A and B are shown apart, each in its own frame.
Chain A
Amino acid sequence: MSETQIERKIDRSHMTVSDEVAIQITAMNKWFGTFHVLRDINLTVNRGERIVIAGPSGSGKSTLIRCINRLEEHQSGQIIVDGTELTSDLKNIDKVRSEVGMVFQHFNLFPHLTILENLTLAPIWVRKVPKKEADEVAMYYLEKVKIPEQALKYPGQLSGGQQQRVAIARSLCMKPRIMLFDEPTSALDPEMIKEVLDTMIGLAEDGMTMLVVTHEMGFAQAVANRVIFMDQGQIVEQNEPYEFFNNPQSERTKLFLSQILGH
């Protein structure tokens, strides 16, 4: 569990949380077979919120955010994303997916396509954007993640940190209103974690609604406006970061924090 120091000064002028609800999860349960992996989850995310979800492995935090774009199906309760309820209706699922970006632990770039093609694939085929325009948008976001010079290479030729920044840019090209991050830095070498976190901080500064599953507590302290602690498929504690780290309430949270922060 690394604690990369966030050195840069963070511009908070656009980091405003509005009253508008982006995600509403009510009494949601999920099972893998007979294993009750998510238990009675209630969570409301407002637009502009930056939420870090922490917890021991197997606590269901990845499964939770994967339910939000229906990579996992929930069995009871309700998930409403941007006003669209997730049911088995494929049209709704595709609508939600094209508006919710997701960044994976292992990047999941398409290795047979160039970086530029990775970025323009979904805009061209899902949003029906003309190729030229999609290329321009893709280059804009590659500039933003600071690797425009890699546009014509293949993912296999890039470092892990660069690949993850490309993956972020790929999601952004769909102009998502919500971004989900599933342990985005866990598969990276220590020296590459910082460049990915910097990109994510930049995104937060632009006012993006973000749900981040991560062990980067430095990031949580610097950027999040809420930290959620999960254990055994349940939300155990949530609080604003300063209180969460300095004044944890439950015994489980205290134990978890002492394990990942103490040496």
Chain B
Amino acid sequence: MSEHRTAAYVRTDMLPEKAPPVSEMGAIRWLRENLFSGPLNTFLTLAGAFVLYFLLSEAFPWFRNSVWVAASVGECRDIITARWGEGATGACWAIIRDRWNMFMFGFYPRELYWRPTLALGLLLFAAAPVLFSESRRIRMIVLGVMTLFLVLAFPALGVGGLATGLMLLALVAMLVVAWSRPWGLLWLTGIYPGLAVWLLWGGSVWVPVLAMAGFVLAWAAFTATRGRGAIISVGSAVAAALAWWFFAMGPVSQVLDTYLPYAIDAVRSDKFGGFVLALTIGVAGIVLSLPIGVVLALARRSDMLLVKALAVGFIEFIRGVPLISLLFVASLLLNYFLPPGTNFDIILRVIIMVTLFAAAYIAEVVRGGLAALPRGQYEAADSLGLDYWKAQRLVVLPQALKISIPGIVSTFIGMFKDTTLVVFVGLLDPLKGITDSVRASFEWKGAYWEPYIFVGCIFFIFNFAMSRYSMYLERRLKRDHH
């Protein structure tokens, strides 16, 4: 039945690879494809170039005519007129130069400027084990830059040579540790929250130490009751910590202060301002809102009706109201509910509100990541006998958080910018609080653009750094094609 047939075509030799034609390579191809691919695109390119030229040519003289050293806005204008002729306009950056400390520190006592500066420098040392554990090169660059920053800043802030030298020694020692082991500075990560609070607010050393001890106590309670179910061990950990903070901590710190008094100058919260304030609220909010947000996201997907209902109610309520209303609640309403005479720090109250606000958004972002995981991942974890918490920690969250990185970082960036809203509860945020108080002075009345541009640039630097870090993290965690 089979009929013998010859193939219609058989290739005898395979073709070698050739280079593409010149018109398909390099700059010419790029220009043609991206800027001049058709009449409409060509028109848009030319129109865009014209708009760009117009904007730059209008703005350029203002920047070119910048004045960096002057004592007042009037002096700035005189200098510009003298140099560039009648009617010329120019930027008066002298306001930034003159009031730099105000923008950075608010009314923080001048002789203590080194404390928030050190807290900021150490922040990256403390974060290194978490953020930069994978790449020694990046870790050393970041920490090296921070060391340089502190060593240059300390003398400028009036710290003596001996103290600066000792600090340099300590930083170099930590650099060596960070060089040899990625997790070497984890102890600093552990104590940093207490250390930063102590550096920023000062006072007795025992308050932050004992407050941190509450976490150790919670951990001890958690491990002691391990194996009796998640609810019991988490509950006893929370109970132990709360009992310690509310009942035991006060008397114990009084006793310690009597027998082992060690304190540095205390700084009240109303002295905070500028970027010290923005960074304090922003960093605390970022660090606290992520774990709370993750727990909320897991709770929202829980099978337990009550847990789920509480999470949904919380998230929807917090997301449904403006941040400012929460801040007003923190500053005004809480006073009515607290016993008279309670000293509940305003910055702490604001941090709590900002944290809850960001946590609600992060919960939704993370829920998206959890939902994006194929069901098979949960089933594989289940079928291997991993219990709920192990499956979440080892299989689900590492993947869900990786998917959620862009959304989480967006939330962080938004939250950091939103710290400027604290101006509405009487705190001196850098954008409006400080700028207004600087412009209220006689010399700098009438300077409009410069403070806003400056503050905007500083915010941009921090936010752009966060954005780049998130892209680096995404690349680092990419697992499909190496």
Supposing A112-B402, A156-B481 touch, asked if A174 and B379 sit within 8 A by C-beta, the answer is no
B380 CB-CB contact with A under 8 Å: yes
A53 within 8 A of B: no
Q: Does A102 contact B (CB under 8 A)?
A: yes
| A71-B379, A104-B380, A110-B377 as given contacts; A174 in contact with B385, CB under 8 Å | yes
B336-387 contacts to A, CB under 8 A, are 374, 376-377, 379-387
B376 interface neighbour in A97, A108, A121, Cβ under 8 Å: A108
The answer to whether A69 and B383 touch (CB under 8 A), given A154-B479, A156-B479, is yes
What does the 1/0 interface line of A133-173 toward B look like (CB < 8 Å)?
A: 00000000000000000000011110000000000001100
Are B481 and A112 within 8 A (Cβ)? no
Does A109 lie at the interface of the complex (its beta carbon under 8 Å from any beta carbon of B)? yes
Within 8 A of A (CB), among B461-482: 477, 479-482
Give B384-417 interface residues, CB cut-off 8 Å to A. Answer: 384-387, 390, 394-395, 398-399, 402
Q: Are B394 and A125 in contact (CB under 8 A)?
A: yes
A27 at the interface (CB under 8 A from B): no
Contacts of A3 in B (CB 8 A): none
Query: B482 to A108, Cβ gap below 8 A?
Result: no
Question: Of A90, A106, A170, which contacts B384 at CB under 8 A?
Answer: A170
Q: How far is the CA of A71 from the CA of B379 in the complex (A)?
A: 7
Expressed in whole angstroms, the Cα–Cα distance for A90 and B381 within the complex equals 15
CA distance A82 to B387 in the complex (A): 20
Asked if A174 and B384 sit within 8 Å, CB to CB, the answer is yes
B402: chain A residues at CB < 8 Å are 112
Q: Which residue of A lies closest to B377 (CB)?
A: A108
- Residues of chain A with a CB closer than 8 A to B385's CB: 94-95, 97-98, 122, 126, 174
Chain B residues near A122 (CB, 8 Å)? 384-386
Does A111 make an interface contact (CB < 8 A)? yes
Task: Determine if B383 and A97 form an interchain contact, defined as CB atoms under 8 angstroms apart.
Answer: yes
B-chain residues with CB within 8 Å of residue A112 when the two chains form the complex: 398-399, 402, 477, 479
Compute how far the CA of A101 lies from the CA of B399 in the bound complex, rounded to whole angstroms: 23
A126 — which chain B residues lie within 8 A by C-beta? Answer: 384-386, 390
Contact flags B11-39 to A (C-beta < 8 A → 1, else 0): 00000000000000000000000000000
Residue in chain A with minimal CB distance to B390? A125
B78-110 to A contact mask, C-beta < 8 Å, 1/0: 000000000000000000000000000000000
Distance, CA A109 to CA B394, complexed state (A)? 13
CB distance from B389 to the nearest CB of A (A): 10
Cβ contacts under 8 Å, A71 to chain B: 379, 382-383
- Chain A: number of interface residues, binned into ranges: 20 to 34
How many Å lie between the Cα of A122 and that of B394 in the bound state? 10
How far is it, in angstroms, between the C-alpha of A129 and the C-alpha of B415 when the chains are bound? 44
* Shortest distance between the CB of A189 and any CB in chain B (Å): 18
Report the bound CA distance from A98 to B390 in whole Å: 14
Count of residues in B whose CB is under 8 Å from the partner chain: 23
Using a Cβ cutoff of 8 Å, how many contacts connect chains A and B?
Answer: 72
Interchain nearest-CB distance for B458 vs A (Å): 36
Give the residue name and chain of the B residue nearest to A114 (CB): B479
CB of A153, distance to nearest CB on chain B (Å): 8
Chain A residues within an 8 Å CB radius of B398: 112
> A104-B380, A108-B376, A109-B380 given as contacts; is B482 within 8 A of A125 (CB)?
no
State how many angstroms separate the Cβ of B37 from the closest Cβ of chain A. Answer: 35
How far apart are the CA atoms of A154 and B479 in the complex, in Å?
7
Let me know if B482 and A157 touch, CB within 8 A.
Answer: yes
Which residues from A are CB-within-8-Å of B480? Answer: 111, 154, 156-157
The answer for the CA separation of A174 and B377 in the assembled complex, in Å, is 17
| Complexed CA–CA distance, A102 and B383 (Å) | 6
Q: How far is the CA of A108 from the CA of B399 in the complex (A)?
A: 13
| Min CB–CB distance A121 → chain B (angstroms) | 6
B189 to nearest A CB, angstroms? 23
Q: What CA separation (Å) do A157 and B379 show in the bound complex? A: 22
Provide the bound-state CA to CA distance between A105 and B374, in Å: 13
Q: Which A58-116 residues have a C-beta within 8 angstroms of B?
A: 69, 71, 90, 94-95, 97-98, 100-102, 104, 106, 108-112
Closest chain A residue, CB of each to CB of B385:
A98
Given contacts A126-B385, A126-B386, contact A110 B380 (CB under 8 A): yes
Asked whether A125 lies within 8 Å of B386 as measured between CB atoms, the reply is yes
Across-interface contacts of B399 in A (CB, < 8 A): 110-112
Q: For residue A110, which residue of chain B has the nearest CB?
A: B395
In the bound assembly, the distance between CA atoms of A70 and B382 in angstroms comes to 9
Known: A108-B377, A112-B399. A97 touches B482 (CB 8 A): no
Contacts of B482 in A (CB 8 A): 154, 157
Q: Which of B312-351 contact A (CB under 8 A)?
A: none
Report the Cα distance A154→B482, complex, angstroms: 9
CA gap between A18 and B454 in the complex, in Å: 81
Kindly report which residue of chain B lies nearest to residue A124, judged by CB atoms: B394
* Distance in angstroms between the alpha carbons of A110 and B380 in the assembled complex: 8
Q: B142: shortest Cβ distance to chain A, in Å?
A: 25
Q: Is the CB of B481 within 8 A of A108?
A: no
Question: Which residues does chain A contribute within 8 Å of B477, judged by CB atoms?
Answer: 112
Shortest Cβ distance from residue A162 to the other chain B in the assembled complex, whole angstroms? 15
Complex Cα distance A110/B390, Å?
Answer: 14
Query: In the bound complex, do residue A104 and residue B384 qualify as a contact, i.e. CB atoms below 8 Å apart?
Result: no
A10 to B359, CA, bound (A): 59
Quick check: B479 and A121 within 8 Å, CB to CB?
A: no
Q: A157 vs B380: C-alpha distance in the bound complex, in angstroms? A: 19
The CA of A102 and the CA of B385, in the complex, are separated in Å by 11
Closest A residue to B379 by beta carbon equals A71
In the assembled complex, the CB of A199 is this many whole angstroms from the nearest CB of chain B, namely: 18
Given A125-B386, A125-B390, A125-B394: A108 in contact with B479 (beta carbons within 8 A): no
- A-side residues, CB < 8 A to B, are 69, 71, 90, 94-95, 97-98, 100-102, 104, 106, 108-112, 121-122, 125-126, 154-157, 170-171, 174
**Interface of B toward A, CB cutoff 8 Å:** 374, 376-377, 379-387, 390, 394-395, 398-399, 402, 477, 479-482
Q: Nearest 7 CB-CB pairs, A to B?
A: A98-B385, A108-B380, A156-B480, A108-B376, A122-B384, A102-B383, A97-B385
Further 6 A-B residue pairs, CB within 8 A, beyond A102-B380, A106-B374, A126-B386: A94-B385, A110-B377, A110-B399, A155-B479, A156-B479, A157-B482
